Structure formats: structure tokens, C-alpha cells
Amino acid sequence: MASEQRKPGSGDEPRPTPSMRGPGGRMMGGGRIEKARDVRGAALRLFNYLSPYRWRLVIISLLVVASTLLGLAGPYLLGQAIDVVADAMSPGQTLDRGLLGYYVLLMALTYLGTWVAQSSEGIIMASISQRALRQLRRDLFEHLQTLSLSFFDRRPTGELMSRLTNDIDTINRVLSMSVTQMISGLLTLVGIVVMMFLLNVWLALGSLIVLPLMVLLTLAVGRRTRGGFRDLQARLGDLNAIMEETVGGQRVVVAFGQQDAATRRFEAANIAARDVAIKAQTFAFLIPPLMGILANLDIAIVAGLGGVLALQGLVTVGVIATFISYARRFAQPLRQLADLYNSIQSALAGAERIFETIDEHPEIADAPDAQPLPRIVGDVEFDDVDFSYVPGVPVLRGVSLRAQPGQTVALVGPTGAGKTTIVNLLSRFYDIDDGAIRIDGHDIRTVRAEDLRRQLGIVLQDTFLFGVSVLDNIRYGRLDATDEECIAAAKLANAHHFINRLPDGYATVLSERGSNLSQGQRQLLAITRAVVADPRILVLDEATSSVDTRTEVQIQEALLRLMAGRTSFVIAHRLSTIRKADQVLVIDQGQLIERGTHEELLAQQGFYYNLYMSQYRRGETIEAA
């Protein structure tokens, strides 16, 4: 479909305000923050993206077990080597160099094996996580393509970008390393406790005195961090929305000298994000130093109790050294798990936001029994149509009209009358509240939306071009169009001449939104795109109002060629451009109040006559379109 989709409020009708947003809407700045609904469900859905790689996960699990066991063996071998040296210091004993070398060699192999296993599991997990995140990004982006325009009306673009970038990146950090670290940390904790009890029950019990304090600390602080990280992600979404909007409208900002105002607005959101981040990070950074204090306390308990037991001959120096080493390692996985808890909270907050979007149902969807729409001839009928963007705030009331195949229908009226809404409904960007819209006798709610939009073409005043080549922008109207068809369409639309003057002709890559072209050149490319699409119904929304007279003549010539043999709806603000329309429909406050040809409506001396004469008195040039 050769169109630039237009949101309500872009031209002539009131747009829903933030207070009108649905349950999922969130106002920018100081608005409502999204609340967590199902943490466990989000975690399960997130890990479902890892399920296609279950065998690789099994290998990773085995590597984690191996690295954990090897890591636990190191302190034990160290203790054995110390005992060999300690025995040699007894009267009449000599150092068994062979046994000492044996333990040293085993320690070296143990630490080498630990490094190999940890490196391997990290590399494999990174590969798995990136593949899973690629699928998650794809699912989110593809689902966004299925959502109705009303969804995007309620959400700033920057917020959605934040879900595709910030939230995905947060999850990436957790999946890449945290999954294996969490498993390793849990296994290390269990292994250390088992080894301690196997070596000496009393020292093991002494070492575990601080364990309840460590667990309570992790739970208490971790509970506070999750809300902070969730709020932080939401604030970053607000910040992204402001940046995207300001950068996109930079010309307007500069033109009106509002750089300071834009900076103040950005700074307010930046400060809000900073304050939330400080709060979240403060709780997150509390855990490591507190855990360090408890770990040192644990070592002191082991050293003191071990000294008492050694004097009684119940333990050896090597066992005490082994326990001290285990005590140090005991704190490490706890600190690691505490840090992971913070990261996991942040990732789950991001996952909730992503899955909330994926769970959005499109308001405009094909009926289960939707039928294919064959190639149409362009007979369009609105039958007593009522519509409102927001319940209780009607935009159209009782609109009925009929366009015969090949006719040109002009829609005129003051700003906010509902002209753009009519073509939005014809394209089924929104569903009507009451009545029916039929094309060739088919109610558009009973046919596939894809088939409908493929046969519609829209050329708007505000043309949207992509940052790709000129040829690719033209081919966007129909992706299977050949180069020759695109060039022929450009000739028909009076665009071929200026395209050839570009640095690389049709291969010239446009800047963002085609800003390296003039307004008239962008309009000609939009018309070319519509020609390639070969639509049966054409919508022209004041496509010549922002260009000079010479360019307007070129565009109007191209439009006349494009409109030939097609049913066309022309939204006109300058009434001098629609004098040859087959029908002129006058809309005011959502109602169709007059209809007829240009001459008939002038003869009635009603609403249309007053509009026309007011433009004439302002010096509007009246000429045949």
C-alpha cells in the first residue's frame, strides 16, 4: 500500500489526550509508573526463549558443575599441602617433597581446569543468549507491526524504543553471564557447606553462624531494589521519548528559539531519571560492603574457633587453612548472588514491559471468517457512519456518502471537522462505532485488511521517506516492482528529471525522512510510490499546499495522471484546487452538511460558498485544478 500512515490529530481532528489513555497508557513526566503484575510468569516466559538450546544448556550445566567441583578441590588440596609442610616441622620428620609436589601439581591442574570450564561455559552461554535475544527482539518488533494505530497514539515513540533497546540490553546482561553465575554460586554454596561438614562439624557450624544474617540482608535489600529498577526503566523510557521528539523536531525548536525550553524539559526528565537511579543504585551498592563485613566476621570466627580446636588437637593447621579459604569463598557466591539478584530484578522489570507490549491485542484485526478482497473497481459507500477515537467524544456522526468508480470526491471543511478521519476509516486504521463502510459491496470489516490496504494509495502533505536509496523508497509502494517499473513511474510522476540530477541518481541514499530533498521533491517521490503501487482507490491529503507555484503545477500534473481511472478522495484546504471534482462533500463538526459539485454549492450560497469567498477575499488565486 502506497501510503504514509497518519495518526488522528495530524490534520483535522482532536487527538486523544493523556488523560484519555487506556489501561496500558502511561503519561510522561510525573505520570503513573507501570506496576509489576506477574514476576514469575515473566521469568518463565523469558527462559522459554532459551528452550530451543536445551542441549547446549545441558553442556553448560555440566561445565558449571565441573568448574564448581574443581574450585572446591583447590582449598582442600591447599590444606593437604600445608599439612605436609607442617608434619615436616615436627621433631624427627623430613619434608616429603614428592607428596608436596603431587599436591602442588594437582592444584595447578585444578585451577587450570576451572579456568577452561568457566571460559567455555561463558562463550557458549553468550552464543545462546544472543540468539535468544535476537528472537525476543524479533517477536517484539513483529508484534508492533500488527498493532493498531490507536496503540501508537497512546505511547510515545521513545518509550517503545526504550523497550527495544534499554530493556533488551538489561536482559542481555543477565542472560549472558548471570544464569551461569547463579547456578555456579548455588552449587558453590552447597559444595562448601558439604565439604565443611565432612572436614569438621564444629568448624562448619561456626562458619554458618553468619549465614542467616547474609540471607536476610540479601532479601531485605533486594526487595527494595526491584521497585527502584522498575521505576528507572520507566523513567528512561520517558527520557528517550523526549530525546526522540526533540531531535525529530529540531528544526521547529531552532526556528522558534526554544532551545532553552527543550533543554529544561529534558533536564526535568533527566533529573527524575537520576533521582530514581540513585535510589535504586544506593540499595544495590549497600549489599557488597555489608556482605564484606559479614565475610570478615566469618573468617574471624573460623580462625578463633579453629585455634581453640587446634590447641586441643582436634584439627590440623591445614584444615584451618582450608576452612579459612572456604570462608572467603563462602562470602563470594553470596555477594555474587546478591549482585545477581539486583540484575535479575532489573531484567525482570524490563521483561515485564516487553511482554506487556507483546500481550497487547490489536484493536483492528481480521475476523476469523474474513474473506479475500478481489481486485476492486472502486465503488465506495459510507452508510450512516458514527465514530469516536475516545468513547463519548464523537468525531463523525451519521456520515453517508457514495463514490462511484473513477469519481473524484473532495472533502472540505474547517480544521477539526473530521476529513482525515474519513480516510482513516476507509483504510481501516480504526473501526467504526456504528454504520457500515463498503467497497464494491464488501463491508471492509469482513475482508482481509491486507487485501484492502494493498488496493489503497495515500499521498499526504507530510511525506515520510526512509533513509535508503531513492529507488528503494519508490519500490516501497510494491516490493516486487522492477527497476524499470519504478523509473517509468517516476517519469509519469514528473520526478525522473530531478532524480537524475541527484549525486547518484536513483541510487542516492536519502537522509533521515528525506531531509536532503525539497518539500516538492519529497511529494513527487510520494506520488511515484503511489504510481508503483497502482491503487484502485486514491487519497490525496492537500499534497500541494507546501510548495511553490511551479512545483505545484508539476505535482498537479502528476496527480491528474495518477487519478485517471481511479476513485479518488481529495482532502482540500485551498478550495481553488478542487473545482473539477465530481463531488464536493462539506464536513463540519463531524457531520456532512452539504454536497454537490463546485458550481452547485456556490449557487446554494451556504457554508461552502462562505468558505470559498473568504479565501477569495484573502487573495487566493482561483484557477482550474
CB 413 within 8 A of CB 588: yes
Q: Whose CA is closest to 444, among 510, 367, 509, 520? A: 367
Distances (CA, A) of 269 to 24, 54, 108, 163, 325: 21, 42, 54, 17, 48
CB 295 within 8 A of CB 215: no
**Tell me, what's the pLDDT at 31?**
34
Spatial strand order in the sheet of 396-403: 396-403, 380-387, 434-439, 442-443
Architecture of domain 462-534: 3-Layer(aba) Sandwich (3.40)
pLDDT band at 18 (very low <50, low <70, confident <90, very high): very low
**What percent of the chain has pLDDT above 90?**
6
**Tell me, what's the pLDDT at 436?**
93
Residue 338's identity, in one-letter code, is A
CB 283 within 8 A of CB 224: yes
pLDDT above 70 for 222: no
Pairing of strands 537-541, 567-571: parallel
H or E stretch covering 567: strand 567-571
CB 31 within 8 A of CB 18: yes
Q: What is the pLDDT of residues 476-524, one digit of tens each?
A: 888 888 899 899 888 888 888 888 988 889 898 887 777 778 878 888 8
pLDDT above 80 for 178: no
**Tell me, what's the pLDDT at 282?**
78
Burial class (CB in 10 A: 0-12, 13-18, 19+), 545: middle
**Tell me, what's the pLDDT at 244?**
72
**Tell me, what's the pLDDT at 2?**
45
Q: What is the mean pLDDT of residues 341-370?
A: 79
Question: Where along the chain do its domains lie?
Answer: 53-358, 462-534
Calculate the CA 432 to chain-centre distance.
Answer: 28
Q: What is the mean pLDDT of residues 139-151?
A: 81
pLDDT above 80 for 184: no
> Cell 528525506 identifies what position?
514
Spell out the residues 6+ positions from residue 378 whose beta carbon is closer than 8 angstroms to its own.
403, 405, 406, 439, 440, 536, 537, 566, 567
Determine the CATH number of domain 53-358: 1.20.1560.10
pLDDT band at 575 (very low <50, low <70, confident <90, very high): low
What global pTM score does this model have? Answer: 0.63
Task: Out of 19-23, 426-430, 468-472, pick the least confident.
Answer: 19-23
Q: What is the mean pLDDT of residues 410-436?
A: 87
Q: What is the pLDDT of residues 248-274, one digit of tens each?
A: 677 677 766 778 888 888 888 888 888
Spell out the residues 6+ positions from residue 279 whose beta carbon is closer than 8 angstroms to its own.
228, 231
Overall residue count recorded for the chain in this entry: 625
pLDDT band at 552 (very low <50, low <70, confident <90, very high): low
3-state secondary structure of 316: coil
Task: Out of 193-197, 235-239, 534-538, pick the least confident.
Answer: 235-239
Q: How many CB atoms lie within 10 A of CB 168?
A: 19
pLDDT above 90 for 159: no
User: What is the secondary structure of 425-493 as a DSSP string?
Assistant: HHTTSS--SEEEEEETTEEGGGB-HHHHHHTEEEEESS----SSBHHHHHHTT-TT--HHHHHHHHHHT
CB 344 within 8 A of CB 174: yes
Q: What is the pLDDT of residues 379-395, one digit of tens each?
A: 999 999 999 988 888 89
